[in-house]
Structure 1
Amino acid sequence: MNYFFVLNGKSMKKTALIIIASFFTAWFLYIGNIVHLPVFSTKDGPKAIYKGEKDLALTFNIGWGDEKAEPILDVLKKENVKSATFFLSGSWAERHPDLVARIVKEGYEIGILGYNYEDYTELEEAKIRQDIAKAQVAFKKLNVKDIKLVRAPTGHFDQKTLKIAERLGYTVIHWSIDSKDWTNPGTEQIINNVSRAKKGDIVLLHASDSAKQTEKALPHILKQLNKKGIELVTVSEMIANAKTKTSEIK
């Protein structure tokens, strides 16, 4: 149904200025809330989850390497952390079946980090489907079942990627706090990068060999979170237990 209003010239100008001012105010507030996300906004389309409403999810990406994953698992066990989500590449999982089995045995969640370390925004749809499908096969062979989460290997994704993931039955997970541990900025800087984490955040960490300082930073990060009274959950638990914030992708 359409509504029509009759306004004189002065009222029309005044109304137009109010509408324009309101629009820009809302726009800047919106941008301020998502500026940390490397994605674009659009009215319609699939969405990626990057934040929850309560609790906090620690996520660890593992794409390659033989040395850092086990020490990270040792720290989590020592600190009595019961919930975490590991995004594993299929190629790494194939080469480290014992570590994959340990992750499952110790109650941690597994998500797919593709098969090869490739930027999905630079691949054709068929190649993205092929990469995810290859990872699916790898995890099935390792008897890892019911994987529902996927993360783009390089962290870069677009609407094309999300549509493919949705068709395959996966939810794309991004993050709201980036530890930047893979840049090896120093233990103190990694701790500081995560220090602003609060309830609802999804934290990005790495257990690949490129992240040489995460093992030392992790106990301090866990201590900070404990002081804040923040409960750790898996990403799936976060999705199930609270409303989630999503970012629509262009």
Structure 2
Amino acid sequence: MNFFWIWNGKRLKQGLVIVVAAFFTAIILFVEGGELAVFTSNDVPLAIDQVKSKDKRIALTFDISWGEVKAIPILEQLKKNKVKASFFISGAWAERHPEIVEQIVKDGHEIGNLGYKYENYTTMENEEIRKDIIRSHEAIKKVAGTQPELLRPPNGNFDKRVLTLSDKMNYTVIHWSLDSEDWRNPGMETIVENVANDADPGDIILLHASDSAKQTADAIPNIISTLKKKGYNFYTVSELVSNADIKSKEIK
């Protein structure tokens, strides 16, 4: 059985070098050119799914791979509530809906790469994965005018190969620690409860802005208001990751 690691952590400021000894062997973190590279003792890059935060900081993330109906109402609700989020978009979707991508950028949200074809990377050959990431990267860069640095593999599926390939392409893999399950369309109240009842400081929350998530836009105002009442502040993933403590766990 294969094992990989998910790290809860934040990018560090340029020039900072931290060496942490943990679990049987040394785990080394270092900064090169302003980018944080995190390795286990066998040089396997790690993914971020949560940060360890003393403050009540939290990040809303939205995956988009198809449709043009639900994204705009979600953007309107985020703007109305003055919340910035991270949108992971597929390259193919970005090409089909450049006007929505432009609105995401205009509203100050962060854009991450969700792959081009939205296919499971763990079933693909290395070169197929690499080409898919590059194709999506170029499509997003052309439409958004920015170069994404965060990658969420399609469906959140990844293994050691995906982590290694992503790192070589200067991408940080982002997973999530809390699933709203909005993709199930369980009802607005259930979506709110899935997030608000289980939220912890440093959580990266998974939501969707594809047309398949029919109830997310209606749930957003209540998610935001409920978390704000609990003292939470909202950040993009990059902001959340910046200057955080590091915490690791082994995933089988």
Specify the TM-score bucket, using the shorter chain as the normaliser.
0.7 to 0.9
In 1, the alpha carbon distance for the partners of 2:76 and 2:144 equals: 23
Give unmatched runs, 5+ long, in structure 2: 1-22, 24-39
Contact map agreement 2:140 2:147 (CA 8 A) in 1: no
Contact map agreement 1:48 1:249 (CA 8 A) in 2: no
Residue 164 of structure 1 corresponds to which residue in structure 2?
165
Deviation string 1:28-68 (CA, Å, 9 cap, x unpaired) is xxxxxxxxxxxxxx864221000012311100000111111
Tell me the C-alpha RMSD between the 2 structures.
1.7
In 1, the alpha carbon distance for the partners of 2:163 and 2:95 equals: 25
Q: Name the amino acid aligned to 1:156.
A: N
- Any idea what SS the aligned residue of 2:242 has? helix
Residue 18 of structure 2 corresponds to which residue in structure 1?
none
In 2, the alpha carbon distance for the partners of 1:62 and 1:143 equals: 14
Residue 57 of structure 1 corresponds to which residue in structure 2?
59
- Which stretch of structure 1 is more off in the superposition, 213-222 or 240-249? 240-249
Contact map agreement 2:94 2:139 (CA 8 A) in 1: yes
Aligned residues, how many?
A: 209
Inter-CA distance 61–143: structure 2 relative to 1 (3 Å threshold): closer
- Any idea what SS the aligned residue of 1:242 has? coil
Residue 194 of structure 2 corresponds to which residue in structure 1?
193
Give 1:247 shift: 5.0
TM-score (norm 2): 0.79
**Which is helix-richer, 1 or 2?**
1
Inter-CA distance 158–110: structure 2 relative to 1 (3 Å threshold): same
Q: Name the amino acid aligned to 1:50.
A: D
Contact map agreement 1:62 1:92 (CA 8 A) in 2: yes
Structure 1 or 2, whichever has the larger Rg, is 1
In 2, the alpha carbon distance for the partners of 1:247 and 1:117 equals: 27
Give 1:140 shift: 2.3
Q: Percent identity?
A: 53
Q: Name the amino acid aligned to 1:109.
A: E
TM-score (norm 1): 0.80
Inter-CA distance 244–95: structure 2 relative to 1 (3 Å threshold): farther
**Which is strand-richer, 1 or 2?**
2
Residue 179 of structure 1 corresponds to which residue in structure 2?
180
Residue 93 of structure 1 corresponds to which residue in structure 2?
94
Inter-CA distance 104–248: structure 2 relative to 1 (3 Å threshold): farther
